[in-house]
């Protein structure tokens, strides 16, 4: 029984030292800063990979963004051995808020149904990451699910499928303020939209499934070397989107003003200790001893 | 439960050779490695030798991996120059021992194990997958037991061999469900847990081990060639003995890689226990040797950030400077490497070599003028590592098996110390092929032969490497003496001089060697591997015959804590080592001898902080010692 999976990913700036670049005025230099597949997106890809290894899923990865977002798609392919890569790129998609983005993704995912699944019932599971690291609010996923009419499950830490009955059993983490976190186990018929918790890790518990995983990993490596042949580009025309519903004009959100949260007044001063400097360590040790003397040993 | 034909435990060069060979012979085999990736747990010096077959039937690297090994060159450099340096302070007496390096070998090449084993794994994996096998990383084997011992099983629906016994093994790991295997190759290295679990041998004792400590140093490709006076297809190896050893029995080494240098020491663990010296100090003493300083120094940028800027500004500046330094480094890597230059010009990134040079200079100028960066003469360390090395003549397993578990390579204690030359990589690979061949026979005979271990053992005893571990080779001694003869030894005192002259006589030497081999080579070890040979004579040589090397270079050698902070770890909350005898002398000495200072004394008890452990095995003998769980622990990027 076939299984079709879509993964929604996002290209994000790489904030690590040596990759990030600033303009003279201190703002982020987007052109020079390297970009890569977002960390949460990689987790979504891992979940898709699990479906590939254990259930033989057919995987399509999609992203909306400028043409350079193809980097994210190729990185995603290297993780999940994707069978097709979809890039939704169009000048008029720029400055989209989450709702306008969801509109593009909805149409894109509906297209996947039409294109790739002549003899089956469309996309069974959509995976997305928790949220993007560069200012996204975590709404894109639920909104896309809502537009598509898929049930949405967030903070998922584990899932299994019963392909015969087309049912998914999943575990999700529920954080209750002030109480112990709980894990909820849910069963739902397919199709579903699953947003992974950042802690998700696919668990291959038998030697043969681990072995299978390595074969797919190797396949992925081969595919990525030639990832453009898996890449399909879509603009608003090919997605049959109304320009009014996408990009800036499709975005009801108005960012009125961004304010820095004022820092609380600090009345303690932190001192940074460099562990490599023996003198500094000596100093801190002395201070601890003095403090101990002051307050007495408990 | 899942069933497999052959399981190989450990993905070092020995285990990988076993996987490659079994797969090439058409059988399914699965290799299990606890490191997150192949190559991440392996450390060598190291020179990989290919043995000349005139001296016995061996399976060399090029036999196992074919011509491709020579074409794709996953090694660093072919060593063409082999020099022994006797040191005393600023004096060095260099003796050309290239003939020792060439002894019985087709070639020897310097290697970095992460790269080499990754390449081996690629080849072995490809072959294995054709048979439904492969490599699984991040899985740690924690136990092996036998399935229904001595219960007769019926094969082929009971039509044949009703007397066959089910010898299959059940493997337990920390990560996966249990599975069954018909035979196992234990290639789990010098600190083999499998050997301990099965009580196939005692843990190696200090007297049977050397402790190897190493740092990899960065140096651009063509600068290496100029410094060491070698061509692009050549490499140099320097060995050191004398005062650099800080009074320990053993010596130092320096091998040229493609664009880095491996430098370190290998010292007898007994000697270290007798008179403990911090392992990193042994490496430092070598780095501080004037000859070495001249060979490894380079231009190094020092980041300098004004302290009066705001924290935010400082961070941004620091990021920008890091980026420029990275660019400068990358450009130099291109500029000083013919292959990289060619590639970069071909893909249109630069038009000419001059343009690359210009870009290096402008980047450097920007760093100096805009960002106050200083360029000093220093050296750059990439990685600090350590591992114990088994001395085969003292510890190789006489019967390297337990039932249908066959031990290969370091796990079987099979390392050769031939004067300054160490061989373990090639030996383990040869063992692995022998084990593979035996197992194939065993499987084809449908498990009927209970003597699988004996057949393998027989094959191991026929290996020329076993002979090398057991006996002094008189030809080797001849070559060694010939090399030493070139230097005027009159000054070394009448006794030494007399000995060398006697040994230079063919008849006397052959007589002496055959007597020694008859009586037992190991009985003379305390003489051969004595402080006199390793320390006193080299110092004497350096003082009497050495040249003085003046160097004004002062290195800023990193503190141990800095070295450790540069290492990559996947931390495990559970300690893989448990101190069981916190008050014994051995453990107290570990506070000095652990290369990453994991041990300290609290209230007269030795305690461990396992987080910095690099899994060298020095403390293994007197602790409850395991490898960390799958994926956890140290991750060597060079090895
Ligand atoms: C400083 C130094 C210098 C040396 N110089 C040379 C030289 O010049 N030439 C030379 O030929 N040799 C040299 N050697 C020796 C050589 O490096 C070793 O003999 C060789 O690397 C051993 O290979 P191996 O495959 O037997 O073991 P290893 O490389 O140790 O591999 C064992 C593998 O098993 C894995 N493992 C262990 N336990 C488990 C478990 N329970 N479950 C799953 N996986 C497990 C480990 O993670 C590891 O990857 C040197 C060694 C050192 C330290
Ligand atoms: S604690 Fe780790 S690093 Fe230290 S001696 Fe033991 S094995 Fe080696």
- Nearest in space to A110 (alpha carbons), one of A245, A242, A247, A6: A6
Residue B156 confidence (pLDDT): 39
> Any CB–CB contact under 8 A between B318 and chain A?
yes
Counting DSSP H helices and E strands in chain B, the numbers are: 25, 28
Could you say which residues from 543 to 572 on chain B have a Cβ atom under 8 Å away from some Cβ of chain A?
Answer: 559, 561-562, 565
Residue A294 confidence (pLDDT): 62
Residue tagged 């003397």 (tokens) = A293
Q: Which residues of B touch A21 (CB under 8 A)?
A: 319-320, 323
Q: Distances in Å between the alpha carbon of B334 and those of B328, B342, B343?
A: 10, 9, 9
Q: A164-168, B124-128, B149-153 — which is least confidently predicted?
A: B149-153
B49 vs A132: which has the higher pLDDT:
B49
Please give the CATH number for the structural domain made up of B77-106+206-297+379-388+530-559.
3.30.9.90
Residue B102 confidence (pLDDT): 86
pLDDT confidence band for A132 (50 / 70 / 90) = low
B238 vs B492: which has the higher pLDDT:
B238
Q: A261-270, B61-70, B295-304, B565-574 — which is least confidently predicted?
A: A261-270
Alpha-carbon distance of B242 to B491, in angstroms, equals 17
* B158 pLDDT above the threshold of 60: no
Residue A255 confidence (pLDDT): 60
Residue A235 confidence (pLDDT): 92
Q: A3-7, A120-124, B162-166, B564-568 — which is least confidently predicted?
A: B162-166
Measured from the CB, is residue B595 less than 6 Å from ligand 2? yes
Q: Which residues of A touch B565 (CB under 8 A)?
A: 275-276
The CATH superfamily label for domain B2-76+111-201+397-470 reads: FAD/NAD(P)-binding domain (3.50.50.60)
User: Cβ neighbours of residue B113 under 8 Å, at least 6 residues apart?
Assistant: B12, B13, B39, B42, B43, B44, B46, B636, B638, B639
User: Cβ neighbours of residue A59 under 8 Å, at least 6 residues apart?
Assistant: A5, A6, A7, A48, A49, A51, A52, A80, A81, A82, A83, A84
Instruction: Kindly state the average pLDDT of the residues A86-91.
Output: 92
Residue tagged 């490499």 (tokens) = B235
Give the CA radius of gyration of chain A: 23
Cross-chain CB nearest to B176 (options A22, A206, A275):
A206
Measured from the CB, is residue B618 less than 6 Å from ligand 2? yes
Q: Report the half-sphere exposure of B541 (CA within 13 A, side-chain side).
A: 26
Please indicate whether, in this complex, the C-beta atoms of B176 and A21 are within 8 angstroms of each other: no
> Per-residue b/e over B71-88, b at no fewer than 16 CB within 10 Å?
eeebbbbbbbbbbbbbbb
Please indicate whether, in this complex, the C-beta atoms of B316 and A26 are within 8 angstroms of each other: yes
Residue A291 confidence (pLDDT): 74
A191 vs B497: which has the higher pLDDT:
A191
Question: If you measure from the C-alpha of residue B130 to the centroid of ligand 1, how many angstroms do you get, rounded to a whole number?
Answer: 27
pLDDT tens-digit map of A21-53: 776 666 667 677 788 999 999 999 999 999 999
- Nearest in space to B201 (alpha carbons), one of B403, B400, B432, B9: B400
DSSP B545-602: HPEE--------PPPHHHHHHHSEEE--SS-SEEES-TTSHHHHHHHHHSTT--EEEE
pLDDT confidence band for A111 (50 / 70 / 90) = confident
User: What is the enclosing helix (H) or strand (E) of A140?
Assistant: helix A140-148
* Residue nearest to ligand 2 atom 6, measured at CA: B619
* Region(s) of chain A under CATH 3.40.50.620: 4-245
8 Å CB contact between B90 and B245: no
8 Å CB contact between B41 and B630: no
Alpha-carbon distance of A108 to A238, in angstroms, equals 9
Strand, helix or coil for residue A94 = coil
Please indicate whether, in this complex, the C-beta atoms of A17 and B319 are within 8 angstroms of each other: yes
Which residue on chain B is closest to A19 by alpha carbon?
B323
8 Å CB contact between B2 and A207: yes
Domain boundaries, chain B: 2-76+111-201+397-470, 77-106+206-297+379-388+530-559, 303-376, 474-521, 572-634
Instruction: Kindly state the average pLDDT of the residues A90-105.
Output: 82
Residue B587 confidence (pLDDT): 98
* A283 pLDDT above the threshold of 90: no
User: What's the pTM value of the predicted model, to 2 decimals?
Assistant: 0.87
Residues in chain A: 298
Instruction: Kindly state the average pLDDT of the residues B110-128.
Output: 97
Question: If you measure from the C-alpha of residue B627 to the centroid of ligand 1, how many angstroms do you get, rounded to a whole number?
Answer: 13
Q: What is the mean pLDDT of chain A?
A: 84
Residue A205 confidence (pLDDT): 93
Q: What is the mean pLDDT of chain B?
A: 91
Please indicate whether, in this complex, the C-beta atoms of A18 and B177 are within 8 angstroms of each other: no
- Specify the CATH architecture of the domain B572-634: 2-Layer Sandwich (3.30)
Cross-chain CB nearest to A211 (options B134, B559, B561):
B134
* B116 pLDDT above the threshold of 60: yes
Question: If you measure from the C-alpha of residue B619 to the centroid of ligand 2, how many angstroms do you get, rounded to a whole number?
Answer: 6
Give the phi and the psi of residue B577 in degrees, each rounded to 5: -120, 135
Long-range contacts, stretch A160-166, CB < 8 angstroms, 24+ apart: A161/A3, A161/A51, A161/A54, A161/A55, A161/A190, A163/A1, A163/A3, A163/A55, A164/A1, A166/A1, A166/A124, A166/A190
Measured from the CB, is residue B598 less than 6 Å from ligand 2? yes
* B500 pLDDT above the threshold of 50: yes
Tokens of residue B185, six digits? 């190759």
* Residue nearest to ligand 1 atom 29, measured at CA: B12
Which residue on chain A is closest to B177 by alpha carbon?
A206
pLDDT tens-digit map of B428-478: 999 999 999 999 988 887 665 668 899 999 999 999 999 999 887 777 777
> Any CB–CB contact under 8 A between B319 and chain A?
yes
> Any CB–CB contact under 8 A between A279 and chain B?
no
Alpha-carbon distance of A193 to A183, in angstroms, equals 18
pLDDT tens-digit map of B130-150: 999 999 999 999 999 987 655
Strand, helix or coil for residue B94 = strand
pLDDT tens-digit map of B589-616: 999 999 999 999 999 999 999 999 999 9
Question: If you measure from the C-alpha of residue B391 to the centroid of ligand 1, how many angstroms do you get, rounded to a whole number?
Answer: 13
Alpha-carbon distance of B140 to B145, in angstroms, equals 15
Please indicate whether, in this complex, the C-beta atoms of A276 and B316 are within 8 angstroms of each other: no
Residue B196 confidence (pLDDT): 96
Residue A137 confidence (pLDDT): 63
Domain A4-245 has CATH 3.40.50.620: yes
């Amino acid at each position: 029984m076939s299984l079709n999976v879509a993964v929604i990913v996002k290209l994000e700036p790489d904030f690590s030292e040596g990759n990030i670049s600033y303009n003279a005025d201190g703002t982020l230099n987007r052109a020079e800063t390297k970009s890569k597949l977002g960390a949460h997106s990689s987790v979504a890809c891992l979940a898709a990979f699990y479906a590939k290894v254990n259930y033989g899923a057919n995987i399509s990865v999609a992203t909306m963004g400028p043409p350079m977002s193809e980097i994210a798609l190729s990185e995603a392919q290297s993780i999940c051995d994707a069978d097709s890569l979809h890039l939704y790129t169009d000048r008029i998609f720029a400055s989209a808020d989450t709702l306008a983005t969801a509109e593009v993704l909805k149409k894109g995912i509906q297209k996947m149904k039409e294109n790739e699944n002549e003899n089956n019932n469309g996309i069974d599971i959509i995976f997305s990451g928790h949220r993007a690291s560069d200012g996204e609010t975590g709404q894109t996923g639920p909104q896309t699910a809502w537009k598509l009419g898929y049930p949405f499950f967030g903070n998922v830490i584990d899932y299994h499928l019963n392909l015969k009955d087309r049912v998914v059993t999943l575990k999700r983490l529920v954080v209750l303020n002030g109480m112990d976190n709980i894990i909820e186990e849910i069963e739902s018929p397919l199709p579903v939209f699953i947003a992974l918790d950042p802690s998700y890790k696919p668990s291959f518990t038998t030697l043969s499934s681990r072995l299978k995983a390595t074969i797919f990993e190797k396949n992925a490596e081969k595919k990525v070397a030639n990832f453009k042949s898996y890449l399909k580009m879509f603009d608003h025309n090919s997605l049959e989107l109304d320009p009014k519903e996408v990009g800036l004009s499709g975005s009801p959100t108005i960012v009125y003003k961004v304010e820095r949260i004022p820092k609380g007044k600090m009345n303690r001063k932190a001192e940074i200790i460099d562990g490599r400097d023996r003198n500094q360590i000596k100093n801190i040790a002395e201070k601890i001893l003095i403090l101990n003397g002051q307050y007495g040993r408990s | 439960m899942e069933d497999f034909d052959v399981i190989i435990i450990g993905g070092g060069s020995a285990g990988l050779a076993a996987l490659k060979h079994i797969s090439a012979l058409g059988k399914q085999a699965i290799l299990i490695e606890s490191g997150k990736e192949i190559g991440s747990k392996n450390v060598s010096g190291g020179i990989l030798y290919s043995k000349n077959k005139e001296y016995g039937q061996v399976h060399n690297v090029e036999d196992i991996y074919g011509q491709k090994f020579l074409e794709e060159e996953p090694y660093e450099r072919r060593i063409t120059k082999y020099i022994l340096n006797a040191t005393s302070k600023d004096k060095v007496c260099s003796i050309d021992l290239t003939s020792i390096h060439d002894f019985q070998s087709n070639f020897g090449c310097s290697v970095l194990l992460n790269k080499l084993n990754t390449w081996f794994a690629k080849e072995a994996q490809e072959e294995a997958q054709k048979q439904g096998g492969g490599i699984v990383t991040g899985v740690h084997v924690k136990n092996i037991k036998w399935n229904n011992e001595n219960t007769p099983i019926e094969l082929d629906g009971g039509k044949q061999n009703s007397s066959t016994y089910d010898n299959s093994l059940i493997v337990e790991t920390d990560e996966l469900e249990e599975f069954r295997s018909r035979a196992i190759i234990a290639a789990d290295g010098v600190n083999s847990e499998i050997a301990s679990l099965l009580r196939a041998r005692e843990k190696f004792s200090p007297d049977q081990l050397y402790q190897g400590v190493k740092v990899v140093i960065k140096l651009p490709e063509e600068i290496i060639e100029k410094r060491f006076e070698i061509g692009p297809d050549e490499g140099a190896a320097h060995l050191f003995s004398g005062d650099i050893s800080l009074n320990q029995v053993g010596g130092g080494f320096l091998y040229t890689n493609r664009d880095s240098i491996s430098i370190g020491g290998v010292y007898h663990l007994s000697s270290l226990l007798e008179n403990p010296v911090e392992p990193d100090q042994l490496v430092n003493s070598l780095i501080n040797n004037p000859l070495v300083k001249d060979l490894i120094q380079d231009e190094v940028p020092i980041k300098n950030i004004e302290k009066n800027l705001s924290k935010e500004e400082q961070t941004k500046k620091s990021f920008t400077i890091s980026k420029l330094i990275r660019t400068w480094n990358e450009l130099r890597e291109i500029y000083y490497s013919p292959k990289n230059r060619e590639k970069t010009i071909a893909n249109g990134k630069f038009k000419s070599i001059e343009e690359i040079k210009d870009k290096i200079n402008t980047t450097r100028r920007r760093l100096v003028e805009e960002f106050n960066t200083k360029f000093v003469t220093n050296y750059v360390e990439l990685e600090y590592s350590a591992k114990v090395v088994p001395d085969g003549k003292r510890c190789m397993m006489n019967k390297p098996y337990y039932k249908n578990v066959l031990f290969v390579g370091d796990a079987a204690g099979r390392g050769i110390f031939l004067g300054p030359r160490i061989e373990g990589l090639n030996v383990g690979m040869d063992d692995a092929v022998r084990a593979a061949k035996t197992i194939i026979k065993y499987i084809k005979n449908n498990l009927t032969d209970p003597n699988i271990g004996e057949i393998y053992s027989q094959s191991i005893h026929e290996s020329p490497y076993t002979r090398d571990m057991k006996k002094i080779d008189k030809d080797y001694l001849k070559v060694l003496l010939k090399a030493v003869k070139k230097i005027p030894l009159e000054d070394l005192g009448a006794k030494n001089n007399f000995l060398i002259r006697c040994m230079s006589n063919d008849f006397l030497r052959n007589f002496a060697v055959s007597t020694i081999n008859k009586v037992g080579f190991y009985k003379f070890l305390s003489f051969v591997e004595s402080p006199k040979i390793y320390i006193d004579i080299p110092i004497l040589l350096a003082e009497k015959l050495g040249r003085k090397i003046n160097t004004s270079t002062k290195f800023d050698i990193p503190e141990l804590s800095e070295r450790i902070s540069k290492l990559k770890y996947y931390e495990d909350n559970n300690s893989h080592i448990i101190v069981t005898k916190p008050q014994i002398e051995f453990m107290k000495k570990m506070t000095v001898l652990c290369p990453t200072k994991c041990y300290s004394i609290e209230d007269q008890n030795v305690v461990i902080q396992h987080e910095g452990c690099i899994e060298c095995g020095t403390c293994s003998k007197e602790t409850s010692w395991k490898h960390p769980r799958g994926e956890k622990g140290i991750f060597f990027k060079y090895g």
